Amino acid sequence: MTTVSIPAGWPATEEQARAVQDRLRERVVLDEPGPPPGTGHVTGVDVAYDDERDVVAAAAVVLDAATLAVVAEATAVGRISFPYVPGLLAFREIPTVLAALDALSRPPGLVVCDGYGLAHPRRFGLASHLGVLTGLPTIGVAKNPFAFTHDDPAPARGSAAPLLDGPEEVGRALRTRDGVKPVFVSVGHRVDLDTACAHVLRLTPRYRLPETTRLADSLCRRALRDSVGR
DNA sequence: GCGACAG
DNA sequence: ATCTTGTCGC
Protein backbone atom coordinates (compact mmCIF):
# COMPACT_ATOMS: atom_id res chain seq x y z
CA MET A 1 0.00 0.00 0.00
CA THR A 2 1.38 3.41 -0.95
CA THR A 3 0.88 6.84 0.61
CA VAL A 4 0.25 9.92 -1.52
CA SER A 5 0.27 13.65 -0.85
CA ILE A 6 -1.78 16.25 -2.65
CA PRO A 7 0.04 17.18 -5.90
CA ALA A 8 1.69 20.59 -6.18
CA GLY A 9 -0.56 22.99 -8.05
CA TRP A 10 -3.68 20.99 -7.30
CA PRO A 11 -6.76 23.23 -7.64
CA ALA A 12 -7.76 24.91 -4.40
CA THR A 13 -10.99 26.52 -5.57
CA GLU A 14 -13.97 25.45 -7.60
CA GLU A 15 -13.13 28.04 -10.21
CA GLN A 16 -9.61 26.64 -10.64
CA ALA A 17 -10.95 23.10 -10.83
CA ARG A 18 -13.46 24.00 -13.53
CA ALA A 19 -10.69 25.69 -15.49
CA VAL A 20 -8.64 22.47 -15.36
CA GLN A 21 -11.62 20.53 -16.68
CA ASP A 22 -12.14 22.99 -19.52
CA ARG A 23 -8.49 22.66 -20.49
CA LEU A 24 -8.15 18.86 -20.25
CA ARG A 25 -11.47 18.17 -21.95
CA GLU A 26 -9.89 18.82 -25.34
CA ARG A 27 -7.72 15.75 -24.90
CA VAL A 28 -10.56 13.26 -24.53
CA VAL A 29 -10.57 10.69 -27.35
CA LEU A 30 -14.04 9.58 -28.43
CA ASP A 31 -13.37 7.99 -31.82
CA GLU A 32 -11.92 4.67 -30.69
CA PRO A 33 -14.15 1.62 -30.15
CA GLY A 34 -12.17 0.44 -27.14
CA PRO A 35 -10.92 -2.98 -26.13
CA PRO A 36 -13.14 -5.90 -27.20
CA PRO A 37 -15.24 -7.17 -24.27
CA GLY A 38 -14.01 -10.42 -22.80
CA THR A 39 -10.37 -9.90 -23.73
CA GLY A 40 -7.39 -8.66 -21.75
CA HIS A 41 -7.78 -6.99 -18.38
CA VAL A 42 -10.57 -4.96 -16.82
CA THR A 43 -9.77 -2.90 -13.73
CA GLY A 44 -12.13 -1.47 -11.14
CA VAL A 45 -11.19 1.60 -9.11
CA ASP A 46 -13.00 3.03 -6.10
CA VAL A 47 -12.41 5.27 -3.11
CA ALA A 48 -13.55 5.41 0.52
CA TYR A 49 -13.36 8.40 2.86
CA ASP A 50 -12.87 9.20 6.49
CA ASP A 51 -13.70 12.89 6.63
CA GLU A 52 -13.06 12.89 10.35
CA ARG A 53 -9.42 11.97 9.86
CA ASP A 54 -9.14 13.66 6.43
CA VAL A 55 -8.09 10.34 4.93
CA VAL A 56 -8.98 8.81 1.59
CA ALA A 57 -8.21 5.23 0.53
CA ALA A 58 -8.27 4.04 -3.09
CA ALA A 59 -8.23 0.54 -4.53
CA ALA A 60 -7.58 -0.85 -7.99
CA VAL A 61 -8.52 -4.46 -8.76
CA VAL A 62 -7.48 -6.05 -12.06
CA LEU A 63 -9.65 -8.84 -13.45
CA ASP A 64 -9.11 -11.23 -16.31
CA ALA A 65 -11.86 -10.02 -18.64
CA ALA A 66 -12.72 -13.53 -19.83
CA THR A 67 -13.05 -15.24 -16.45
CA LEU A 68 -13.47 -12.27 -14.07
CA ALA A 69 -10.73 -13.80 -11.91
CA VAL A 70 -8.66 -11.31 -9.90
CA VAL A 71 -5.12 -11.08 -11.27
CA ALA A 72 -3.78 -8.07 -9.32
CA GLU A 73 -4.75 -5.59 -6.60
CA ALA A 74 -3.28 -2.43 -5.13
CA THR A 75 -4.31 0.26 -2.65
CA ALA A 76 -3.16 3.75 -1.72
CA VAL A 77 -4.06 6.23 1.01
CA GLY A 78 -3.75 10.00 1.14
CA ARG A 79 -5.25 13.22 2.42
CA ILE A 80 -8.58 14.36 1.00
CA SER A 81 -7.61 16.68 -1.84
CA PHE A 82 -10.88 18.52 -2.48
CA PRO A 83 -14.36 18.84 -0.92
CA TYR A 84 -17.24 17.00 -2.51
CA VAL A 85 -18.79 19.31 -5.07
CA PRO A 86 -21.16 17.85 -7.67
CA GLY A 87 -19.34 18.10 -10.99
CA LEU A 88 -15.90 18.20 -9.35
CA LEU A 89 -15.74 14.69 -7.92
CA ALA A 90 -12.54 13.87 -9.79
CA PHE A 91 -10.52 16.37 -7.78
CA ARG A 92 -11.42 14.50 -4.63
CA GLU A 93 -10.44 11.07 -5.88
CA ILE A 94 -7.86 11.21 -8.63
CA PRO A 95 -4.50 11.60 -6.83
CA THR A 96 -5.09 8.52 -4.69
CA VAL A 97 -6.61 6.52 -7.54
CA LEU A 98 -3.57 7.28 -9.71
CA ALA A 99 -1.28 6.01 -6.95
CA ALA A 100 -3.24 2.77 -6.67
CA LEU A 101 -3.10 2.26 -10.44
CA ASP A 102 0.64 2.95 -10.45
CA ALA A 103 1.18 0.31 -7.78
CA LEU A 104 -0.37 -2.49 -9.86
CA SER A 105 1.90 -5.31 -10.97
CA ARG A 106 -0.10 -5.88 -14.17
CA PRO A 107 -1.38 -3.49 -16.86
CA PRO A 108 -4.94 -2.31 -16.07
CA GLY A 109 -6.48 -2.59 -19.51
CA LEU A 110 -9.94 -0.99 -19.47
CA VAL A 111 -10.60 1.01 -16.29
CA VAL A 112 -14.13 1.04 -14.85
CA CYS A 113 -14.82 4.07 -12.64
CA ASP A 114 -17.51 4.74 -10.05
CA GLY A 115 -19.28 7.77 -11.47
CA TYR A 116 -19.47 9.46 -14.84
CA GLY A 117 -17.39 10.27 -17.88
CA LEU A 118 -19.09 12.24 -20.65
CA ALA A 119 -22.28 12.43 -18.59
CA HIS A 120 -21.16 15.54 -16.79
CA PRO A 121 -22.15 19.23 -16.76
CA ARG A 122 -19.00 20.07 -18.75
CA ARG A 123 -18.66 16.64 -20.38
CA PHE A 124 -15.60 15.80 -18.30
CA GLY A 125 -16.42 13.56 -15.38
CA LEU A 126 -14.14 11.38 -13.31
CA ALA A 127 -13.79 8.63 -15.93
CA SER A 128 -12.81 11.08 -18.69
CA HIS A 129 -10.38 12.86 -16.37
CA LEU A 130 -8.70 9.63 -15.30
CA GLY A 131 -8.50 8.50 -18.92
CA VAL A 132 -6.82 11.68 -20.10
CA LEU A 133 -4.30 11.58 -17.24
CA THR A 134 -3.37 7.91 -17.74
CA GLY A 135 -4.00 7.44 -21.46
CA LEU A 136 -5.97 4.30 -20.56
CA PRO A 137 -9.40 3.42 -21.96
CA THR A 138 -11.98 4.29 -19.29
CA ILE A 139 -15.71 4.12 -18.71
CA GLY A 140 -17.98 5.42 -15.95
CA VAL A 141 -20.65 3.36 -14.21
CA ALA A 142 -22.81 5.34 -11.78
CA LYS A 143 -25.55 4.22 -9.42
CA ASN A 144 -27.61 7.40 -9.79
CA PRO A 145 -28.72 9.49 -12.76
CA PHE A 146 -27.28 12.74 -11.37
CA ALA A 147 -29.18 15.61 -12.97
CA PHE A 148 -29.89 13.70 -16.19
CA THR A 149 -33.13 12.20 -17.43
CA HIS A 150 -34.04 8.89 -18.96
CA ASP A 151 -36.99 6.68 -19.78
CA ASP A 152 -37.30 3.50 -17.81
CA PRO A 153 -35.62 0.64 -19.73
CA ALA A 154 -37.64 -2.54 -20.35
CA PRO A 155 -37.49 -4.95 -17.38
CA ALA A 156 -35.14 -7.50 -18.96
CA ARG A 157 -31.41 -7.48 -18.28
CA GLY A 158 -29.64 -5.85 -21.23
CA SER A 159 -32.41 -3.32 -21.89
CA ALA A 160 -31.31 0.29 -22.10
CA ALA A 161 -32.56 3.82 -22.55
CA PRO A 162 -30.65 6.98 -23.48
CA LEU A 163 -29.35 9.11 -20.63
CA LEU A 164 -30.14 12.66 -21.65
CA ASP A 165 -28.91 16.12 -20.82
CA GLY A 166 -31.78 17.98 -22.43
CA PRO A 167 -31.75 16.74 -26.02
CA GLU A 168 -28.19 15.42 -25.89
CA GLU A 169 -27.41 11.75 -25.25
CA VAL A 170 -24.59 11.63 -22.71
CA GLY A 171 -24.79 7.99 -21.67
CA ARG A 172 -27.16 5.10 -21.15
CA ALA A 173 -29.41 3.76 -18.41
CA LEU A 174 -28.56 0.05 -18.64
CA ARG A 175 -30.49 -2.73 -16.91
CA THR A 176 -27.93 -5.23 -15.66
CA ARG A 177 -30.39 -7.50 -13.80
CA ASP A 178 -34.01 -8.39 -14.57
CA GLY A 179 -36.40 -6.00 -12.86
CA VAL A 180 -33.66 -4.20 -10.93
CA LYS A 181 -32.86 -0.46 -11.07
CA PRO A 182 -30.50 0.25 -13.99
CA VAL A 183 -26.94 1.55 -13.78
CA PHE A 184 -25.83 4.66 -15.66
CA VAL A 185 -23.04 4.09 -18.14
CA SER A 186 -21.05 6.77 -19.89
CA VAL A 187 -17.95 6.93 -22.02
CA GLY A 188 -14.73 8.05 -20.38
CA HIS A 189 -11.83 7.96 -22.84
CA ARG A 190 -10.99 5.82 -25.89
CA VAL A 191 -14.15 3.67 -25.66
CA ASP A 192 -17.50 4.02 -27.45
CA LEU A 193 -20.84 3.75 -25.67
CA ASP A 194 -21.90 0.42 -27.19
CA THR A 195 -18.60 -1.17 -26.22
CA ALA A 196 -18.83 0.34 -22.73
CA CYS A 197 -22.28 -1.19 -22.23
CA ALA A 198 -21.11 -4.57 -23.57
CA HIS A 199 -18.33 -4.57 -20.99
CA VAL A 200 -20.73 -3.68 -18.20
CA LEU A 201 -23.03 -6.56 -19.12
CA ARG A 202 -20.12 -9.01 -19.07
CA LEU A 203 -19.14 -7.66 -15.65
CA THR A 204 -22.61 -8.20 -14.16
CA PRO A 205 -23.25 -11.98 -14.25
CA ARG A 206 -24.87 -11.92 -10.82
CA TYR A 207 -25.31 -8.46 -9.29
CA ARG A 208 -26.53 -5.04 -10.37
CA LEU A 209 -23.07 -3.48 -10.10
CA PRO A 210 -20.01 -4.65 -12.06
CA GLU A 211 -17.71 -7.10 -10.30
CA THR A 212 -14.93 -4.55 -10.81
CA THR A 213 -16.64 -1.91 -8.70
CA ARG A 214 -17.85 -4.40 -6.10
CA LEU A 215 -14.34 -5.72 -5.57
CA ALA A 216 -12.71 -2.27 -5.61
CA ASP A 217 -15.33 -1.00 -3.17
CA SER A 218 -14.68 -3.70 -0.59
CA LEU A 219 -10.91 -3.41 -1.00
CA CYS A 220 -10.76 0.36 -0.49
CA ARG A 221 -12.99 0.13 2.58
CA ARG A 222 -10.66 -2.48 4.01
CA ALA A 223 -7.66 -0.29 3.19
CA LEU A 224 -9.31 2.64 4.97
CA ARG A 225 -9.89 0.54 8.10
CA ASP A 226 -6.37 -0.87 7.99
CA SER A 227 -4.88 2.60 7.58
CA VAL A 228 -5.64 3.29 11.24
CA GLY A 229 -6.88 0.03 12.61
CA ARG A 230 -10.30 -0.46 14.10
C1' DG B 1 -31.85 33.82 -6.77
C1' DC B 2 -32.32 28.94 -4.81
C1' DG B 3 -32.14 24.14 -4.76
C1' DA B 4 -30.62 19.74 -6.81
C1' DC B 5 -26.84 17.18 -7.93
C1' DA B 6 -21.73 11.27 -9.50
C1' DG B 7 -19.13 9.87 -4.63
C1' DA C 1 -19.59 8.93 0.55
C1' DT C 2 -21.23 7.91 5.56
C1' DC C 3 -24.21 7.01 10.02
C1' DT C 4 -25.80 1.36 11.08
C1' DT C 5 -28.39 -4.79 13.33
C1' DG C 6 -30.95 -7.67 12.35
C1' DT C 7 -33.56 -9.68 9.13
C1' DC C 8 -36.28 -11.33 5.05
C1' DG C 9 -35.44 -13.98 0.91
C1' DC C 10 -33.19 -16.74 -2.92
- The domain locations on chain A are 2-6+32-226
For position A229, what pLDDT does the model report? Answer: 54
**Residue A114 marked as a ligand binder:** yes
Distance A147 CA to B3 C1' (A): 12
Number of Cβ within a 10 Å radius of residue A220: 29
Nearest CA-CA partner of A101 in A212, A197, A208, A226: A212
Pairing of strands A160-165, A138-142: unpaired
Top-tier CATH class for A2-6+32-226: alpha beta
Mean of the pLDDT values across residues A103-130? 97
Predicted confidence (pLDDT) at residue A162 exceeds the cutoff of 60: yes
A148-160 tens-digit pLDDT: 999 999 999 999 9
Distance between CA atoms of A135 and A27, rounded to whole angstroms?
Answer: 10
Distance A226 CA to C9 C1' (A): 33
User: Percentage of chain A surpassing pLDDT 90?
Assistant: 91
A174-209 tens-digit pLDDT: 999 999 999 999 999 999 999 999 999 999 999 999
Q: Give the type of residue at A100.
A: A
Q: How many residues does chain A have?
A: 230
The two counts, helices (H) then strands (E), for chain A are 5, 9
Distance between CA atoms of A122 and A116, rounded to whole angstroms?
Answer: 11
A21-80 tens-digit pLDDT: 999 999 999 999 999 999 999 999 999 999 889 999 999 999 999 999 999 999 999 999
| A213 nearest nucleotide via C1' and CA | B7
Residue A71: half-sphere exposure toward Cβ, Cα within 13 Å: 16
Question: Please, which positions of strand B sit below 7 A from a protein CB?
Answer: 4-7
Is strand C in 7 Å reach of the CB of A218?
no
| A47 nearest nucleotide via C1' and CA | B7
Distance between CA atoms of A187 and A182, rounded to whole angstroms?
Answer: 16
Predicted confidence (pLDDT) at residue A222 exceeds the cutoff of 60: yes
Nearest CA-CA partner of A196 in A30, A17, A28: A30
A88-109 residues labelled b (16+ CB within 10 A) or e (exposed): bbbbbbbbbbbbbbebbeeebb
In the predicted model, what is the mean pLDDT of chain A?
95
**Residue A46 marked as a ligand binder:** yes
